[in-house]
Chains A and B, each alone.
Chain A
Amino acid sequence: MKPAQFGYLRPDTLAEAIGLLKECPQDARVMAGGQSLGPMLNLRLVQPRHVIDISRLGELCDSSMSGDTLAIGACITHAQIEDGKITDVTRGLLAQVAKGIAYRAVRNRGTVGGSLAHADPAADWLTTMIALDASLELAGANGRSRVKVAKFVTGAMETTIEAAELLTCVLVPRLSTSARWGYAKYARKPGDFAESMAIAVVDPDRASSRVVLGRRSEPPALMQASSQVLAGKPTEPLTEKLGAAIELDLSSVRADQADWTMHRAIVLRAIRTLR
């Protein structure tokens, strides 16, 4: 289908973009790569009066290191991450995840910030960034603020972002050299949204260990008990204790029997592939 009528705006500066959002917060949608918003517009699932294209704002298209934190501009594309165009602070995890997102033609346009702000629970970056304990920088009329990705997402496609705020960058802490990660994803076909995905990041030098489960209907779940077990015994992950911990974590995940079995298998696979 064709989208309903809207006005296309392409501000030249971040301040101008925030100004536009402030003027028409209720009926404007921000477009970065447009790989989620584009289909939603075409299907008329959304019918905003204005579409604000932020994809050419220079500040959002860059990445930089500050101390041990990598700031990835919101408009950095999945393909740029796949191709190693940003500093690798995650021992290859981000590139691996990027490679598994949709298809190359989508990765060439889709952006990390757009994906996180859209907050589709099945999208890969939410689960990944929560596993990495990443934060987001938001810019609004009253300045900038930071929020952990885990706190930012409040539900399926629900976030704490204000109508006149823009997500400017993703702040990813550098993993230490002894850190290991594991990644598993199940989708019906390559490039499809994950039915289930899990990421485990074990970083003993930073006293951090996180196992996160992503799925279709709800925001990613931090697997607390499993994370704790992995923090204790990083070299022997597949103990009985871990099996019990995964089951305990999954007991609070709403899913039918088949999905529950799938999630358990995916979490186990992510942990088995820790490297």
Chain B
Amino acid sequence: MKAVTICVNGERISRSVDDRLSLADFLREHCLLTGTHIGCEHGVCGACTLMMNGQPVRSCITLAAAADGRDVRTVEGYEGDALMQAIRKAFNLRHALQCGFCTPGMLATAYDILSRIPDLDRERIRSELAGNLCRCTGYLSIITAIEDVHAQGIARKGSSA
């Protein structure tokens, strides 16, 4: 067992965890934050993507022990965040989710794309989204939603996790 302290959505959480526990399982089972979804569990599907120290990472192949001392922001942690609000609204308007399984990862990736890349276009959004799989939407609506938020020009100042 390892003692870890991880700042989750602004709250410092200290637990003793199994050495092999993933960050995703830490959040789901120890913090009861089930918004982080586990899909493939080997870093391919992108469903578990969340922010660690302000950067998107795969939480299924990040160990909880390796996240000790880090700031983690999950899909539950964006209250009052203007950029995330705009992304969610656009996802809603554009029907950018159906079953919702990939959505937490899509939102984290969209947040990163919009806050990191100033000269976004449709092609760039497509290639940046290549690491997040969605089996429902066909991606077009997701790409369009991100394009919409980019056009609104509110992106560049999202507060990082």
Check: A102 CB closer than 8 A to any chain B CB. Answer: yes
- Cα distance A166–B149 in the bound complex, in angstroms: 45
- Cα distance A2–B63 in the bound complex, in angstroms: 11
Q: Is the interface of B mostly helix, strand, loop or mixed?
A: mixed
The answer to whether A104 and B61 have CB atoms under 8 Å apart is no
- Rounded to whole Å, the gap between the CB of A33 and the closest CB of chain B is 9
Complex interface residues of chain B between 47 and 70 (CB less than 8 A to chain A): 49, 55-58, 60-63, 65-66, 68
Check: B152 CB closer than 8 A to any chain A CB. Answer: no
**Which residue of B41, B55, B56 is within 8 Å of A1 (Cβ)?**
B41
- Cα distance A191–B131 in the bound complex, in angstroms: 7
Kindly list chain A residues whose C-beta atoms are within 8 Å of the C-beta of B61: 34-35, 38-39, 42
The answer to whether A105 and B109 have CB atoms under 8 Å apart is yes
The answer to whether B58 and A8 have CB atoms under 8 Å apart is no
Check: B121 CB closer than 8 A to any chain A CB. Answer: no
The answer to whether A38 and B127 have CB atoms under 8 Å apart is no
Check: A24 CB closer than 8 A to any chain B CB. Answer: no
Q: A8-B20, A191-B130 are in contact. Are A108 and B66 (CB under 8 A)?
A: no
Write out, one digit per residue, whether chain B residues 71-94 have a CB within 8 A of any chain A CB (1) or not (0): 000000000000000000000000
Kindly list chain A residues whose C-beta atoms are within 8 Å of the C-beta of B20: 2-6, 8, 41
State how many residues of chain A have any CB contact under 8 Å with chain B.
31
Kindly list chain A residues whose C-beta atoms are within 8 Å of the C-beta of B116: 104
- Rounded to whole Å, the gap between the CB of B103 and the closest CB of chain A is 15
Kindly list chain B residues whose C-beta atoms are within 8 Å of the C-beta of A31: 66
Instruction: Point out residues on B near A: beta carbons under 8 Å.
Output: 2, 19-20, 22, 25, 41-44, 46, 49, 55-58, 60-63, 65-66, 68, 109, 112, 116, 126-128, 130-132
Kindly list chain B residues whose C-beta atoms are within 8 Å of the C-beta of A22: none
Kindly list chain A residues whose C-beta atoms are within 8 Å of the C-beta of B63: 8, 34, 38, 51, 53
Complex interface residues of chain A between 78 and 124 (CB less than 8 A to chain B): 79, 102-106, 108-109
Write out, one digit per residue, whether chain A residues 1-30 have a CB within 8 A of any chain B CB (1) or not (0): 111111110100000000000000000000
- Rounded to whole Å, the gap between the CB of A6 and the closest CB of chain B is 6
Complex interface residues of chain A between 45 and 92 (CB less than 8 A to chain B): 51, 53, 55, 79
- Rounded to whole Å, the gap between the CB of A99 and the closest CB of chain B is 9
**Which residue of A2, A39, A41, A103 is within 8 Å of B131 (Cβ)?**
A103
Kindly list chain A residues whose C-beta atoms are within 8 Å of the C-beta of B57: 105, 108-109
Q: A1-B41, A5-B19 are in contact. Are A103 and B62 (CB under 8 A)?
A: no
- Rounded to whole Å, the gap between the CB of A41 and the closest CB of chain B is 7
Kindly list chain B residues whose C-beta atoms are within 8 Å of the C-beta of A10: 65-66, 68
- Cα distance A6–B25 in the bound complex, in angstroms: 16
Check: A189 CB closer than 8 A to any chain B CB. Answer: yes
The answer to whether B19 and A39 have CB atoms under 8 Å apart is no
Q: A39-B43, A39-B61, A106-B43 are in contact. Are A190 and B56 (CB under 8 A)?
A: no
Kindly list chain B residues whose C-beta atoms are within 8 Å of the C-beta of A244: none
Of chain A, the residue at the smallest CB distance from B113 is: A104
- Cα distance A109–B58 in the bound complex, in angstroms: 9
Q: A34-B66, A39-B61 are in contact. Are A6 and B112 (CB under 8 A)?
A: no
Kindly list chain B residues whose C-beta atoms are within 8 Å of the C-beta of A5: 19-20
Check: A43 CB closer than 8 A to any chain B CB. Answer: yes
Q: A34-B63, A34-B66, A42-B61 are in contact. Are A108 and B41 (CB under 8 A)?
A: no
Q: A34-B62, A35-B58, A38-B43 are in contact. List 14 more A-B contacts (CB 8 A).
A: A4-B20, A34-B63, A38-B60, A38-B61, A38-B63, A42-B60, A53-B63, A103-B46, A103-B132, A105-B131, A106-B58, A108-B57, A109-B57, A191-B130
The answer to whether A38 and B56 have CB atoms under 8 Å apart is no
Of chain B, the residue at the smallest CB distance from A108 is: B55
Q: A8-B2, A53-B66 are in contact. Are A104 and B112 (CB under 8 A)?
A: yes
- Rounded to whole Å, the gap between the CB of A168 and the closest CB of chain B is 20
- Rounded to whole Å, the gap between the CB of A227 and the closest CB of chain B is 31
Kindly list chain A residues whose C-beta atoms are within 8 Å of the C-beta of B22: 2, 42
